[in-house]
A = this chain, B = another copy of it.
Amino acid sequence: MKCAILSIGTELLMGQILNTNSKYLSEELNNLGIGVYYHHTVGDNPKRLEALIRETFKNVDMIITTGGLGPTQDDLTKEIISKVFDREMMKDEYSYGKIRDYFNNRKKIMSKNNIRQAYMPKNSIILENNYGTAPGFIIDDKEKIIICLPGPPKEMKNMFNDQVMKYLMKKAKNYIYSKTIRLFGIGESLLEEKIMDLIENQENPTIATYAKEGEVSIRITSSSKDEDEAKYLVNNMIKNIYEKVGQYIYSTDNEELIDVVVKKLKEKSLTISLAESCTGGMIGSKFTDIPGISSSFDRSLVTYSNMAKEEELGVKKHILEEFGAVSRQTAESMAMGLKRKTKSNICLSVTGIAGPDGGTEEKPVGLVYICLLYGKTMVTRRFHFSGDRNKIRTYTLLSSLNMIKEVLERG
């Protein structure tokens, strides 16, 4: 099936908002095995919209639209589409009731335009909107299919996941199952090399790798007439991938590294404190992003200046002078100073040169030491990251989390 995604909204053409809907739908549709051939965007203009729909249907079997369903847009999308498919508009009582309840619950008055939101092209499949007032709909006339979704990403995504997915699976008489594995410590090209035979022989399930700063993920998607078989195919592929690159995998459930670390800390009822230098509070900020972290996270001493390292962590002046602020000795001294002050089970320190200035031949930009104390264990690692200041700090953050994860898995 050939598909096009059509975004409707003048604000997109003005550059006021970013079109994240097309990306989202493309990824999901490709996962379902539906080829996306075009993205089009047009403004809230009836003539241009109608012409573009007619033109696009010359090249594809299915169009998914987003936007143009709101009460202020005069139901532009619906009216044009009912015209293109030559169908009357009819009041949908269920949608009407839902819109009325929405306003009653908020003690707001329902306008004429809101009532018009309950009018739908005859014989269309209505898609409920659980996060807003505008319902969506599907027209399937055997030859051509159009699926109309609201523009706000939250409303669109939920409607797609809860209702459109099922429709498309049923249509394809296929069950689709997908899982995302996350890895740390391996680059995308090395990963692809290691699982090359799996990638080259892929068919069902399919395997796609994605890279983003310092992390890689693998999305595995199967399709089958049978739900159990679809699941088996994916889980079996995960087993094969584990055999090849298991040591880099930290989640088979698309979790973030910080979530995996915090889950482990909570499971083991452990607490953590930090001593940060080049990250300047980033690691602390990452932990405290998580609601309810106060039972696990005690403090982070961001000792950016040498003076602060001496005063807050008791790093000796002679260590700073002899080995420098960015050295194994300073990192270890920072962690031990932190340990003396706190009762935390895990104490982690980082010190490094984030650049762009401050590097020397001996100690280049990107040099980072991380030291971790846990019980009687001390692990110190030296890294040399490349990239700009932001990248170096991000890699330092992720490597710190990964060291914590590793020590928790072992201990």
Contact = CB atoms under 8 A, between A and B. Distances in A.
A14 B39 contact: no
How big is the A interface, by class?
35 or more
Interface stretch (A127-135, A191-199, A249-257, A289-297): A289-297
A39 B302 CA distance: 47
A17 B37 CA distance: 15
A288 interface: yes
Contact of A312 (B55, B279, B301, B393): B301
A37 B26 contact: no
B20 A355 contact: no
A395 to B, nearest CB: 15
A102 to B, nearest CB: 20
Interface string A363-378: 0000000000000000
A339 to B, nearest CB: 13
A19 B16 contact: no
Interface string A1-27: 000000100001111111110111111
A355 B288 CA distance: 11
B22 A41 contact: yes
Interface of A: 7, 12-20, 22-30, 36-43, 48, 52, 55, 59, 210, 274, 276, 278-285, 287-289, 291-294, 297-305, 307-308, 311-312, 341-343, 354-357, 389-390, 393
25 contacts: A13-B26, A13-B37, A15-B36, A16-B27, A18-B18, A19-B19, A38-B41, A38-B48, A39-B41, A40-B40, A55-B55, A278-B288, A279-B285, A280-B284, A281-B283, A284-B304, A291-B355, A294-B304, A299-B303, A300-B300, A301-B302, A301-B312, A302-B302, A311-B341, A311-B342
Across the A-B interface, the 4 shortest Cβ-Cβ residue pairs:
A280-B288, A281-B281, A281-B284, A15-B27
